[in-house]
Structure 1
Amino acid sequence: MVQPLPAGKLAVGTGWRYSKGGKHAAFDYPVKIGTPVFAVQDGVVLDCHDGVSNTPQPDVVGAPSNWVLLGITHAGRDASVLYQHLSPKLLVKKGQKVKAGDQLAESGSSGHATGPHLHMAAMWGHRTAATRYDYLANISAREKAPNGTAANDICIFPPDQVCGTKKVGLAPAFSSGEVFLDKLSFGVTNSDSVKRLQFVLNNVKLVHGRELKLTGNYDIDTKNEATKWQIQIDHCVPNTRAADGNIGPKQAQKLFGPKYTLKAHS
C-alpha cells in the first residue's frame, strides 16, 4: 500500500465535514493541477470518467468531473476508492488492473469544485458509477467522524486507512531504463526517453528550477530546464551550443548516470 500523492503533497484541507458543516466524509488534498495521482493498492479500475476540462464549477452540484473508481481489497473485504476532480486524459481505463503506486491520472479542478484539489473517499464494497457516492448515504448532521467505518456501514473514514505509509516519488518507472540519445532534443514528442530526462531534471537541484510534467514532449519548459542544468551543473558557457538546451552524448552520460542505458538511435 502507498500514498495517493507524491511526498510533500499530503496535507489535508477538508475532512469529515466542510467548514460550513455539510457532510463530506472524504479527504480533500489541495494540490496544483497536474500533480500525479497514484493507486494506493493493487486493484482494478471499476469505472472512470474522462474528458471534462479543468474549469471548476463551484455552484453546480453534480457537475460532470473526471474521476476514477478503484476496486481494492482492504482487511480481507472488497472496498472502493474514489478519486475525483481529476484532469482530463486519464492514464487508465475501465477494467484495467493496476499495481500499488501506478499513476492513474493527474489532479485537476474539474466539476463541482472551488479550485484545484484531489478528493479521495473510501467505502466498503466494489461500487459502480451509479453508487460511487454511497459513502455519503445516511450520514446524520450530528454524527462524529469515525475512526473506521461510519454508521452507514459503507464509508471508511479517514480514507487514508486504505493507504500505506510509503510515499511515492514521481513516476518511479522512469528512474531507470533505456534512453535514446536521438530523442534528447527540442521538438521531440511522446518519447519515454524524454520522460526519463524530465524525471532526472526534476531530481536535480537547480537555481530557479521548476518541476516538469512527465509528458514525453521536449517542449520549451524542458529545454529551459536542460539549459539550466548545462550552465549550472555542467558549467557550460551561456548562449553557446553546449548550453542550447539539447542534451548531447557526453552530457547525457553525466546527467543520467549508471541506472540508465544510453543508446544512439531509437
Structure 2
Amino acid sequence: MAQPLPAGKLSVGTGWRYSKGGKHAAFDYPVEIGTSVFAVQDGVVLACNDGVTNKSQPGVVGAKSNWILLGIMHGGQKVSVLYQHLSPGLLVSKGQQVKAGQQIAKSGSSGNATGPHLHVAAMWGHRTTSTRYDYLINIGPKEKEPNGTAQNEICIFPPSLVYTAKKASGRVTSTSPFAAGDVFLDKLHFGSKDSDSVRRLQFVLNNVKLVQGRNLKVSGNYDIDTKNEATKWQLQIDKCKPGTLSADGNIGPKQAAKLFGKSYTLKAHS
C-alpha cells in the first residue's frame, strides 16, 4: 500500500464501479507521483512490469503500465494483490520474497489512467501475467458490491480485506469476511450452493489442522471436497465413529456449535 500502512487511512477514489457504472472491482487511491508503496503482507513477487514512463493514457485499453503482482496468503489460502500505474524503477523483481511493510515501488501515472493514483485489486489464487485481470471476469452489470468474494469467486472486494489481516486467538483470521457472522444450519449439507454459511464453514475448515487435510476453495458450494474435509473433522476432531450419521460429512447443530465458536451466530433457517 501507499504510505501510510496499514491501509484504511487513505481516501478511496473509485471503488466497486466507475461513476458511469462500469466495473472496476478495485480501489483507486489518489496519491501524488512518487508516493511510497509497500507490501501489504509477507509474500512473493509473482510477476511485474517496469520501464514505462509516467504518461497517463486515459481510455487506452491495454496501454502498458508498471505493475506488481504480489502473492500472499490470507485465511489459509493463496491471494494475489495487483498494484497498478506505478512509477518506473520498481524496487523488486519477479520471484523476490518480500516482507509486510517493505517498500516495493513508488506510485505513478503510467498506463490507462486519468491521472496519478495507485490502483489496488485483490483476488483468490496466485495469478500470472496473463491472468492478473481475472478479478474483472464475469461481473454482471447488476451485481451489487460484495463484502468478501464477488460472484465470480475470484475478486475479493473490498481489497482492503487482505491488507491488515492479523492472526486472532484460535484458528481464524480476524479481518476475513468469513471469520464471523451468521451461519444457517440448514445450509451445512452436501449440495448447498452459493451460501455464505458454506463459505464460513470452508474458511473454518481451512484453519483446522487435519491429518491429510486439504485447502478448500471458499466457493460457497458444499461440494464433495467440502464434504470430505467435514468428514475428516468429524472423525479426527469430533471423534465420531466411521460409517455413522454423525460422520457423513454433513454438519449438524451440535457439531456446528463445536466447530464455529463464539465469533459466529448459529441460526436454524435461512
Interval of TM-score (by shorter of Structure 1 and Structure 2)? 0.5 to 0.7
Alpha-carbon distance change, 114 to 9 in structure 1, aligned in 2, over 3 angstroms: farther
Tell me what 2:41 maps to.
41
Which structure has more relative contact order (CA 8 Å, sep 6+)? It is 1
Tell me what 1:26 maps to.
26
Task: Report SS of the residue matched to 2:73.
Answer: strand
Tell me what 2:124 maps to.
124
Q: Which one-letter code corresponds to 1:83 in the other structure?
A: Y
Task: Report SS of the residue matched to 1:130.
Answer: helix
Q: Which one-letter code corresponds to 2:21 in the other structure?
A: G
Tell me what 1:6 maps to.
3
Question: CA offsets per residue over residues 166-203 of structure 1, 9 Å max, x none?
Answer: 9xxxxxxxxxxxxxxxxxxxxxxxxxxxxxxxxxxxxx
| Cα displacement (A) at 1:10 | 1.1
- Given the alignment of the two structures, is residue 60 of structure 1 paired with residue 57 of structure 2, yes or no? no
Structure 1 CA distance, aligned partners of 2:159 and 2:126? 15
Tell me what 1:98 maps to.
98
CA contact (8 A) 2:27 2:120 kept: yes
| Cα displacement (A) at 1:49 | 0.1
Structure 2 counterparts to residues 169-188 of structure 1, below 5 A = none
Question: CA offsets per residue over residues 88-128 of structure 1, 9 Å max, x none?
Answer: 00000000000000001000000000000000000000000
CA contact (8 A) 2:26 2:121 kept: yes
Task: Report SS of the residue matched to 2:135.
Answer: helix
Structure 2 CA distance, aligned partners of 1:152 and 1:26? 14
Which consecutive unaligned segments of at least 5 residues does structure 2 have?
167-270
- Given the alignment of the two structures, is residue 81 of structure 1 paired with residue 81 of structure 2, yes or no? yes
Tell me what 1:149 maps to.
149
- Given the alignment of the two structures, is residue 107 of structure 1 paired with residue 107 of structure 2, yes or no? yes
CA contact (8 A) 1:82 1:122 kept: yes
Alpha-carbon distance change, 127 to 20 in structure 1, aligned in 2, over 3 angstroms: same
- What TM-score results when the alignment is normalised by the length of structure 2? 0.59
Which consecutive unaligned segments of at least 5 residues does structure 1 have?
167-266
Question: CA offsets per residue over residues 208-257 of structure 1, 9 Å max, x none?
Answer: xxxxxxxxxxxxxxxxxxxxxxxxxxxxxxxxxxxxxxxxxxxxxxxxxx
Structure 2 CA distance, aligned partners of 1:131 and 1:36? 26
Structure 1 CA distance, aligned partners of 2:165 and 2:108? 24
Task: Report SS of the residue matched to 1:161.
Answer: helix
Two-structure CA RMSD over aligned residues (Å): 1.3
Tell me what 2:72 maps to.
72
Q: Percent identity?
A: 74
Tell me what 1:158 maps to.
158
Task: Report SS of the residue matched to 1:44.
Answer: strand
Q: Which one-letter code corresponds to 1:51 in the other structure?
A: G
- What TM-score results when the alignment is normalised by the length of structure 1? 0.60
Structure 2 CA distance, aligned partners of 1:87 and 1:9? 22
Structure 2 CA distance, aligned partners of 1:149 and 1:48? 25
Structure 2 CA distance, aligned partners of 1:80 and 1:29? 18
| Cα displacement (A) at 1:59 | 2.6
| Cα displacement (A) at 1:23 | 0.1
CA contact (8 A) 2:2 2:107 kept: no
